[in-house]
């Protein structure tokens, strides 16, 4: 599933996805790690395993897909 498909089908989830990405940026920054797609993906994948609520899991998966699409599109090989 591509992130643009998810965001088209679930536009109401855009605010939670933005919140998840924002919290990830803050958490990674507090750890002193560089803020880039790879570190954000690592952080979100660890956090995804710790989640319990279904709604947050869908938004978390959407955020991960957004980052993966970004990495695929703009990442260096």
Q: 23: pLDDT confidence band, cut at 50, 70 and 90?
A: very high
| Cα-based angle 48, 50, 51 (whole degrees, multiple of 5) | 70
pLDDT for 29 equals 95
Q: Which domains does the chain have, with CATH numbers?
A: 3-70 (1.20.5)
pTM above 0.85, yes or no: no
Q: How far apart are CA 35 and CA 57, in angstroms?
A: 22
């Amino acid at each position: 599933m591509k992130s643009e498909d998810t965001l088209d089908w679930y536009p109401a989830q855009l605010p939670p996805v933005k919140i998840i990405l924002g919290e990830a940026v803050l958490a990674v920054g507090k750890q002193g790690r560089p803020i880039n797609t790879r570190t954000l993906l690592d952080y979100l994948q660890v956090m995804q395993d710790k989640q319990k609520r279904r709604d947050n899991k869908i938004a978390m998966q959407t955020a991960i897909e957004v980052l993966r699409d970004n990495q695929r599109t703009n990442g260096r090989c």
